[in-house]
Amino acid sequence: MIFVRQDGANFKPAKPIHNTAASRAHMNRVKQLPCVVCGKTGPSDAHHVISGRFGQRKSCDFETIPLCKRHHQHGPDAIHENKTAWEEANGPDWGFLPVVRAMLDPNNEIDF
């Protein structure tokens, strides 16, 4: 898939990072955080952000947010049950990425 930048140049987006030692370690840290929607203590699911995405390619393992089962997969409040309703209630899931970064690195010392 080829994309066009605002300046008109073509580019191919970088391939998402999956299943490396660093990405697995990052996802394990995310899973220990509370749910970013309701604050339920971990362990949480590491949800790969999907808002605004098209196609089936999963986002990078570093683009994950902690969600409890209720907000991730099971029930009417789950993003994978009703993405539109979830986004109306909570905003796009990628909007939580800066929150997760601050939770993981409050002193801004890690280069993600």
**Number of structural domains found in the chain:** 1
**Tell me, what's the pLDDT at 55?**
58
**Tell me, what's the pLDDT at 11?**
47
Share above pLDDT 90 across residues of the chain, in percent, rounded to a whole number = 58
Answer whether residue 60 is part of any domain.
yes
Answer whether residue 77 is part of any domain.
yes
Answer whether residue 6 is part of any domain.
no
Answer whether residue 27 is part of any domain.
no
Report the distance separating Cα 83 and Cα 77, nearest Å. 9
For 77, the domain range is 35-112
Answer whether residue 98 is part of any domain.
yes
**Tell me, what's the pLDDT at 51?**
87
Answer whether residue 19 is part of any domain.
no
Answer whether residue 7 is part of any domain.
no
Q: Does 90 have pLDDT greater than 50?
A: yes
**Tell me, what's the pLDDT at 12?**
46
| 105 vs 30: which has the higher pLDDT | 30
Report the distance separating Cα 25 and Cα 35, nearest Å. 18
Could you report the per-residue pLDDT of 2-56, keeping only the tens digit for each?
Answer: 444 455 555 445 556 777 888 899 999 999 999 999 999 989 999 999 888 765 6
**Tell me, what's the pLDDT at 3?**
42
Answer whether residue 30 is part of any domain.
no
